[in-house]
Amino acid sequence: MCGIVAYIGSKQALPILIGGLRRLEYRGYDSAGLAVFENGQPCLVKAVGKIDNLSEKLKNQSFDSTFGIAHTRWATHGGVTEPNTHPHTDCTGNIVLAHNGIIENYRELKESLGSNHRYTSETDSEVLAHLIEKEYTGDLRQAVLSALGQVRGTYGLAIMHKDHPGTLVCARMGSPLVIGLGENEYFVASDATPMLAYTKNVIFLEDGEVAEIKRTDMHIVNLKDQQVAKKVSKIEWDEASAQKQGFAHFMLKEIFDQPTVLQDAIRGRFKLADGTAHLGGLNMSEPEMREIKRIVLIACGTASYAAMAGKYMFERLAGIPVEVDVASEFRYRDPIIDNQTLVFGISQSGETADTLAALKEAKRKGAFVRGIVNVVGSTIARETDGGTYIHAGPELAVASTKAFTNMTAILLLYALQFGRLNKLSVATGQRLLAALTEIPEKMKLILQQSDKIKELAEKYKNARDFLFLGRGVNFPVALEGSLKLKEISYIHSEAVPGGEMKHGPIALLSPEFPVFAIMTKNQLYDKMRSNIEEVKARKAPIILIATEGDLGAADLAQDVIYVPPTMELLEPLLNTLPLQLFAYHMAVALGRDVDRPRNLAKSVTVE
């Protein structure tokens, strides 16, 4: 949450900063601001709301500066106001700072600074600018290092000073920062997307690192001011893949990306002849894999629902008991972890603060700790001892879609890899993989029904509540469908297993309370059908996801969306798509901001 962009070089900074903010707006869009040096003076421009509001303010202003910082905010401390908008300054106005994260001890720091400091905002971030002011004696890097030695919390920082118009100081602790390397120029951002048009060569700052950047060189040190050697990484994504490509919204593009990116996720990671998967990033020998007695999947939100689907896959295919833990709860219950436990942290961004903290706790307790992430070079990818990239490409809509299906596919391949090592037959593995290779084409058939699902959204857009039902491996799908609807349409919804409905939720049903149910042909088909009969008896409107050829489905429901048949464990890869499309079209019908829903941010980098 929140996004930082900075530039120092020979180009005009303003277009780079504004363009970068637009590419980071998914991280926060309550307000935005920037600062550039003009005639030796820092000039700040801020606006509440979206980047367009900031651009409007800049229309009649001309800046030739080749050095500046910018920030798009997702409010934590203090309301959505111009004074609370970044960048912030110190009392003198000489120090300019943009900050992501939370300074946990900002009240103590503020008190220690005394009454001589004048504050213009309610934010914790502004206190940092004043702390650096107190420590400054002519060397900006040293002032930043001294200040950070007193800070408790998380930060991604970009800092300028009037007396050093050719120097940018950046620092990271728990909030990602990427430095892009150009020809006598540097780009800094919260992730790589703002710099893809200019460079693909990047350096990822680690926690506790501080970069002093000038136009022609850069020095990176730790908090003890010791030089740190860094490796240059190359970003595989191109700028085009991060654009809408003719779609009305990023979310719709990303829904339609799924057939392609699923192929990217599984390509080269299985051997059909052997009926098994090979995910080399696991970094475990076969004897080590055989010693694993328990698997823990740690995630938040959409990733946690992919993990729940993965639980069914691991237990069915590999016979290994699996727990799914919400990351924000994991380390606060003193989890039982040992060296026969394999822990996966699952996160699209690879920066989710709760998941990262949980993985560190699991590692401390001796578990094998691995990551399943999308963003190359992200913190979880670097902090774990191995894992797998899901290769979903840039996901810029706040509501995750293609990451869910790719995470689920990777978990399936891991389950198959462990299963073949333990008890699963070659023939079963081959059938599963053959069915998996058919999924992209079957996804395309579902996506062709987008206009029909749009009509359903128009029909149900005035509903105030929804209930989602699923059983077995489709219960996590129901949870994900409910989450998507509430995230972007703001319609209240909840999801329950079909068999649990009569243990309470059935009391909600009425002709004004629609039910979206998943009743595809699998071992729980008859059970699910009985559950839906109970809904029908209460006269609640029913939308069904059913398997092609199931003519009886139309007798149960007002509306049916048919999906191609597949093996039961693969059903989440198909059944999720109609729910994503339904949520999308509902949000559009209601005039919501689909890509940037209120109160949400893409990457939650604070606890």
- Please count the other Cβ atoms lying within 10 Å of the Cβ belonging to residue 527: 14
8 A C-beta contact, residue 68 and residue 13: yes
Query: What's the whole-number mean pLDDT along residues 471-482?
Result: 98
Q: What is the distance between the alpha carbons of residues 106 and 92, in angstroms, rounded to a whole number?
A: 20
CATH homologous superfamily of 3-235 equals Aminohydrolase, N-terminal nucleophile (Ntn) domain (3.60.20.10)
Predicted TM-score (pTM) above 0.85 = no
Q: 449-607: same fold as 243-444? A: yes
Q: Is residue 575 within 8 Å of 476, Cβ to Cβ?
A: no
Share of the chain above pLDDT 90, in %: 79
Q: pLDDT tens, 381-438?
A: 888 999 999 999 888 899 999 999 999 999 999 999 999 998 899 999 999 999 999 9
Beta strand 368-373 with 341-347 is parallel
**Tens digits of per-residue pLDDT, 64-90?**
899 999 999 877 777 889 999 999 999
What backbone torsions phi and psi does residue 168 show, to the nearest 5 degrees?
-120, 130
Confidence band, pLDDT 50/70/90 cuts, at residue 175? confident
* CATH number, domain 243-444, options 3.40.50.720, 1.10.10.10, 3.40.190.10, 3.40.50.10490: 3.40.50.10490
What residues act catalytically?
2, 602
Give yes or no for residue 606 having a pLDDT over 60.
no
DSSP-H helix ranges across 322-373: 327-330, 353-364
Please check whether residue 368 is in contact with residue 393, taking contact to mean a CB–CB distance below 8 angstroms: no
pLDDT in tens, 99-137: 998 898 999 999 999 988 999 999 999 999 999 999 999
User: How far is it, in rounded angstroms, from Cα 342 to Cα 346?
Assistant: 13
Structure-token match 């709860």, residue found: 329
| Cα angle 209, 212, 214; round to 5 | 150
| Domain spans of the chain, in order of start | 3-235, 243-444, 449-607
The tokens for 64 are 């030739």
pLDDT band at residue 48 using 50, 70 and 90 as cut-offs? very high
**CATH fit for domain 449-607, picks 3.40.50.1460, 3.40.50.10490, 3.40.630.30, 3.40.50.1260:** 3.40.50.10490
Instruction: Quote the strand ranges of 390-491, DSSP E.
Output: 465-470
For the cut 90, the answer to whether the pLDDT of residue 253 exceeds it is yes
Q: Helix 571-589 crosses helix 475-489 at what angle (to 10 degrees)? A: 20
Per-residue pLDDT at 242: 66
Q: From CA 401, how far away is CA 102, in angstroms rounded?
A: 28
Comparing 28 with 372, the larger pLDDT belongs to 372
